[in-house]
Amino acid sequence: MIILAMYIAIFAAAAIVWAIVGAPFVRKDPFTALKTVTFGDESAIRSNRFASVVSVISIFLIWASFTGSTLIPNALHVPGPFQGETSFEYEATAPDGTTDAGTVRALVHPVGAAVETPSLEGLEESGFAKNFTSTIPAYRSATIVAGKLLDDRKTQKITSIDGTPIAPGGAVDIATGQVRMNAKGSLTFEPLQGMQMAEQYLPPPEKVGKRFVSLIFDGYQNVTLFEHLGLSLFRVFVGFFLGCLVGIPLGYAMGLNGWFRGWFDPIVEFMRPVPPLALIPLIIIWLGIWETGKISLLFLAALWIMAISARSGVSGVRISKVHAAYSLGASKWQILKNVIVPNSLPDIFTGARVAMGVCWGTVVAAELVAAQKGAGKMIIEASKFSLTDIVIVGILLIGVVGFGIDILMRKLENYLIPWKGKG
């Protein structure tokens, strides 16, 4: 909630800043700049580069700020968990009405740091209420059973914390945290959590960066990052390639022959809307968790998409082109090769881009379920050990690779079929 509010605030602030001082930096497109109507004219909208840069930076800032990253100055951090030495006093009452006070000292330390228990020096040990000392890792809390504080926990009761009365089930806020009392009269001290996220939930950017480097060189569970990603990519490419190999000719056949269309239409139309992920259990039952299973799954994911796009590529050919080719003396085979195939390439490429995206999503999901290696396997395995940094590296890289595949396909498309959309 706070993060969302902050994000909106940054968005608005950046927009206002840009509105005030941005004007001189606008790169003017000579024609668009002369347009008076821009609201409603989509072609007059130019993506604001400044906004994109600020957008990415602010996500990093929020990330860094909520994880206490060392990459940014402390002033930008949201309040972190309390760390350091703290103490509170408690008062206890004995059945005969006598009261006594004791002190609890605690050192809240960073997770994993080796620290010594604070000394109780300087504190008087007088009545039945004893002093106590403890260490607590940040983000955790400590329960101090009543027996450790009182001589006789059966009869003596703790009645107040730092002067504020407390009863079983109640809680008292002190400057550095909260003291709660359970039904049996034991105390739980929970130091202030602050607004930062613990590392097991969200590690700071520099930790993720470090992990990224170590994954490249050392890997995780003896498998390097490139092996994981490479294997996932390999599966995608093999599955996609096989899908094209079968799907495109199938689509052509369906576009060119009534029997083929009648035969395969029900199958293709039924299988197309089935999410490939829904096939994972069946694929595992039939083919097991090895490569055959995953590649078959990706093959199926690509197959229907490619068949449908090839079919629509064939149906999309303008009849006058086919007629022209016939009246120029071309045979059926020549028309297939010189007219129908090139004419369907734009559709096939669009299908290929969709299929690649679907395959990439499917392979990660399939690896989450069952795999030895692979990007999905890496993050699911790391999550079991709360290695959130690996999970985040994995997610970022899966995104980058997916994006990269799409860019690559688009470049390839521009290079291979420059006539797209120009018929």
326 makes contact with other proteins (CB under 8 A): yes
Cα–Cα distance list, 109 to 69, 140, 221, 305, 351 (Å): 17, 10, 30, 56, 55
Q: For residue 339, state whether it binds other proteins (rule: CB under 8 A).
A: yes
Per-residue DSSP letter, 161 = E
Which of the stretches 44-52, 62-70, 234-242, 326-334 binds other proteins when contact is defined by CB under 8 A? 326-334
Interaction between residue 47 and other proteins (CB under 8 A): no
Three-state SS at 14: helix
Please pick, from the candidates 27, 116, 327, 415, the single residue that binds other proteins as defined by CB under 8 A: 327
Residue placing its CB nearer to other proteins in the complex, 325 or 358 = 325
What value, to the nearest 5°, has the Cα angle with vertex 126 and ends 123 and 127? 135
Q: Are 153 and 94 in contact (CB under 8 A)?
A: no
* Least distance to other proteins, CB of residue 342, Å: 4
- Site size toward other proteins (CB under 8 A) is 23
Query: Per CB under 8 A, does 325 bind other proteins?
Result: yes
Q: How far is CA 90 from the centre of its chain?
A: 45
**Between 275 and 423, CB nearer to other proteins:** 423
Alpha-carbon span 147 to 111, nearest angstrom: 27
CA-to-CA separations, 146 to 91, 97, 99, 372, in angstroms, rounded: 12, 18, 15, 50
Give the three-class secondary structure for 331. Answer: coil
Q: Which residues between 345 and 364 bind other proteins (CB under 8 A)?
A: 345
Contact pick of 86, 176, 343, 388 for other proteins (by CB under 8 A): 343
Six-digit token pair at 271?
């299988």
Q: Which is nearer to other proteins, 10 or 330 (CB)?
A: 330
47 or 320, CB closer to other proteins?
320
Alpha helices in 173-288 (DSSP H): 205-217, 225-256, 258-271, 280-287
Closest CB to other proteins among residues 343, 362: 343
CA distance 11 to 48: 13
**Is residue 415 a contact residue for other proteins (CB under 8 A)?**
no
Question: What is the SS3 assignment for 85?
Answer: strand
Choice from 316, 342, 357, 402 touching other proteins (CB under 8 A): 342
Taking the complex as a whole, the smallest distance from the CB of residue 32 to other proteins amounts, in Å, to: 24
Q: Which of 155, 331, 386, 414 binds other proteins (CB under 8 A)?
A: 331
By rule CB under 8 A, what string of x and - marks binding of each residue 193-232 to other proteins? ----------------------------------------
Task: Name the minimum Å distance from CB 276 to other proteins.
Answer: 32
CA atoms within 13 A on the CB side of 286: 11
Residue 312 identity: S
Residues at the interface with other proteins (CB under 8 A):
318, 320-321, 323-331, 334, 338-339, 342-343, 345, 417-419, 422-423
